[in-house]
Chain A
Amino acid sequence: MQKTFSVSELITVFVLAVIAIFVVPCLNSMVPQTSFFYISDFAINLWGKYLCYAILAMTVDLLWGYTGLLSLGQRLYFALGGYMMGMYLMRMIGSLGQYHMPIPDFLVFLGWTRLPTFWKPFDSFPFALLMMVLLPGFLSLVFGFLAFRSRIRGVYFSILTQALTYAACLLFFRNNILMGGNNGFTDFKFMLGHDTRTASTQRGLYIASAFFLLIVYLGFKWLTGTKLGKVQRAIRDSENRVLFSGYAAANFKLFIFVVAGVVAGLAGALYVPQVGIINPGEMATDQSLEAVVWVAVGGRGTLIGPIIGAVFVNVIKSWATRAYPDYWPIILGGMFLLVVLFLPGGLVGLFGHCVNLVKHSTKKPDLTAEINAEVEAEPAAPVAAAATATGTHNPSE
């Protein structure tokens, strides 16, 4: 049995977390703008967005890389979380909108004079927060229950997730559901009493995103290390065997699917005040596909891969959509093809491959010694395993 965290990994995570959560915001707020180390407000805002994408990518990977469920609809849960946050932010505009009415502008435009009943509770942030968790959680629970109970697997599952996303997208385009229609929600002004248009609020949102990413990373790390995590990967590798070992695989898939939905929803909720808009375009099918590309490029089946992939692809996207806007879809498709054909392990796999190459080229003379060590180590293996066992699992538990 392996320990959940190795020391070197803990140190790496700690260092990266300190940089993302403390150092970067300080370089934004405390360093003079002329300094080389200064990070602009624009960059902070951009990175806050990337980190939300990274969390979304982790949920895609939890499903695809760890459970073998390729969901092409994670962006739906992300957008739903975002919409719930958006409703709260719309209420916080108060009477400062274009029409100076106490209800959101688009409702005035549609001829409403009073606030629709279902909008009323969104004046309260705790209620909105609850809905950010409950709505994506409930939808993924219902959809997952129906899909997994009917034993929908593989490509059929993927197609269904995409169809659901498309249906939701079309629904949100309609004005008569009173969710802003085509234009969605925008023109946000206040969040929890802070002006969302100021640098300090944006910095706070960036820190919240970085902190949430850390929590999700540690949480997923723990989850995938438990026996449930082992069952999860067992389902990916041989679902029949799992069934025949007496596990109700559908329940495990459902649990993971709901966790992924809720986390994606919260990431979306953090994303919306940072980009300042949420509309149905956010749940368009190509958006969900992009999230799959991030995971493939970063390296699926690892926790760090989706983070790297989401940031890497989006940094390129930010540059390409300005420099060569017409070619971006081709660049994205090309990246995906390249990874599928030549880098099945993604960037993380490439890195591991390079490390191995370096190790081999430097260690060649010691090859026989290595083999000897391996042979010697074999009889001792149970002892070593027992030692780690007492280290990780207290027998008195």
Chain B
Amino acid sequence: MSAAAKPSILAAEGVNKTFDGFKAINDLNFSMDEGELRTVIGPNGAGKTTFLDLITGRTKPDVGTIRFGSEGVDLIRKSEYEIYRLGIGRKFQTPTVYTDHTVFENLLLSLEGSRGVFATLFSRVTPAQRDRIREILQTIGLSAKEDVKAGSLAHGQKQWLEIGMLLAQNARLLLVDEPAAGMTDEETAKTGELLLSLVGKHSIIVIEHDMVFVRQIATKVTVLHQGHVLCEGTVDQVQSDERVIEVYLGRSKKH
């Protein structure tokens, strides 16, 4: 890959995944650098969400390797919770927070630390943890909502809380699935700012449909099509790429 100087955070090679004869992922090769923000776009059914499922161990590939970090840990042999303990955090398409817990408790449960059954039975909140949670609340702009139940937050706020939960996990790689879906323009812009503020400290993969949003955040875009990387480059490069235009327009003709 071009940026050989920088350590790679994620490298997928020759990954294939078939569901009932449908090739969801077809010989996928993907690599990104530590601290990079990468946007993945592609038409419906291009395999974007399946790609995230493969990284997070939700499904296992038929063939291929997915390696994480400079140590090159093989993710395929790990279970879901082990993968998350390695430092990969995922934000789902629909906000997935603990609705019956307060915002503070949501972050507390995500915070690095005790994860075992008996360890959690006797763990106490330390002042350091409290400070860390306050810091994250500041970052995601929810300081005033600390003691509010997450279930009563607005849609956008839930999305930010979920991003905050990934930060609390101290995830090195954030997988963010359509963060702008269902948001107002203002919320979308704020989400973009939030993600941009994390670049460098975290590596981020964003899956998105909204091209205005992609333009706001993207430096490098990967286009997926039929489970395969179609092309990579800046927003302008991919938007002027003939294959990309064909894929998107070709699809829209069918509708």
Contact = CB atoms under 8 A, between A and B. Distances in A.
Interface of A: 1, 223, 226-228, 230-231, 233-234, 236-238, 240-249, 251-252, 255, 378-379, 381-382, 385-386, 389, 393, 395, 397
B117 A381 contact: no
Question: By CB atoms of chain B within 10 A, which of A227, A247, A393 has the most?
Answer: A227
B146 interface: yes
Contacts of B30: none
B101 A245 contact: no
Given A226-B122, A230-B108, A389 B130 contact: yes
A234 B109 contact: yes
Contacts of A251: 116-117
Given A245-B169, A393-B125, 8 more contacts: A226-B120, A228-B117, A230-B105, A234-B101, A238-B99, A242-B109, A252-B117, A385-B147
A385 B148 CA distance: 12
B92 to A, nearest CB: 7
Interface stretch (B1-9, B77-85, B243-251): B77-85
B143 interface: yes
B109 A1 contact: no
B165 interface: yes
B51 interface: no
Given A1-B125, A381-B147, A382-B146, A244 B104 contact: no
Interface of B: 56, 80-81, 84-85, 89-90, 92, 96-101, 104-105, 108-110, 114-117, 120-127, 130, 134, 143-144, 146-147, 165, 169
A67 B128 CA distance: 29
B101 A393 contact: no
A349 to B, nearest CB: 15
A241 B143 contact: no
Nearest to A245: B110
Nearest to A301: B100
A244 B108 contact: no
A223 B120 CA distance: 10
Nearest to A222: B121
Contacts of B125: 1, 389, 393
A306 to B, nearest CB: 18
B92 A240 contact: yes
Given A227-B123, A238-B96, A389-B125, A243 B80 contact: yes
A241 B85 contact: no
B75 to A, nearest CB: 14
Question: By CB atoms of chain A within 10 A, which of B110, B114, B126 has the most?
Answer: B110
A245 B109 contact: yes
A255 B117 contact: yes
B204 to A, nearest CB: 16
A231 B117 CA distance: 9
Contacts of A247: 81, 115
A116 B189 CA distance: 77
A175 B147 CA distance: 59
Given A237-B99, A245-B84, A230 B124 contact: no
22 contacts: A1-B104, A226-B122, A226-B123, A228-B121, A230-B101, A234-B109, A237-B100, A238-B97, A241-B96, A244-B56, A244-B84, A244-B89, A244-B90, A245-B84, A245-B109, A246-B84, A246-B115, A246-B169, A381-B144, A385-B146, A393-B125, A393-B126
Nearest to B85: A246
A233 B96 contact: no
A227 B109 contact: yes
A243 B84 CA distance: 8
A145 to B, nearest CB: 13
B121 A227 contact: yes
B186 to A, nearest CB: 21
Contact of B98 (A234, A389, A395): A234
Contacts of B120: 226-228, 231, 252
A240 B108 CA distance: 17
Given A246-B81, A252-B117, A231 B109 contact: yes
B118 to A, nearest CB: 8
Contacts of B92: 240-241
Given A246-B85, A247-B81, A389-B130, A233 B117 contact: no
A177 B114 CA distance: 45
Given A381-B146, A393-B124, A397-B124, A245 B165 contact: yes
A393 B127 CA distance: 9
B150 to A, nearest CB: 9
B114 A227 contact: yes
A386 to B, nearest CB: 8
Nearest to A240: B96
A69 to B, nearest CB: 15
A389 B124 CA distance: 11
A395 B129 CA distance: 11
B15 to A, nearest CB: 20
Contacts of A240: 92, 96
A381 B117 CA distance: 31
Nearest to A248: B81
A226 B124 CA distance: 8
Contact of A233 (B89, B98, B127, B134): B98
Given A246-B81, A382-B134, A382-B146, A241 B117 contact: no
A382 B124 contact: no
A378 B144 contact: yes
A251 B123 CA distance: 17
A377 to B, nearest CB: 10
Contacts of A1: 104-105, 125
B234 to A, nearest CB: 31
A17 B114 CA distance: 35
A234 B99 CA distance: 8
A246 B85 CA distance: 5
Contacts of B122: 226
Contacts of A245: 84, 109-110, 165, 169
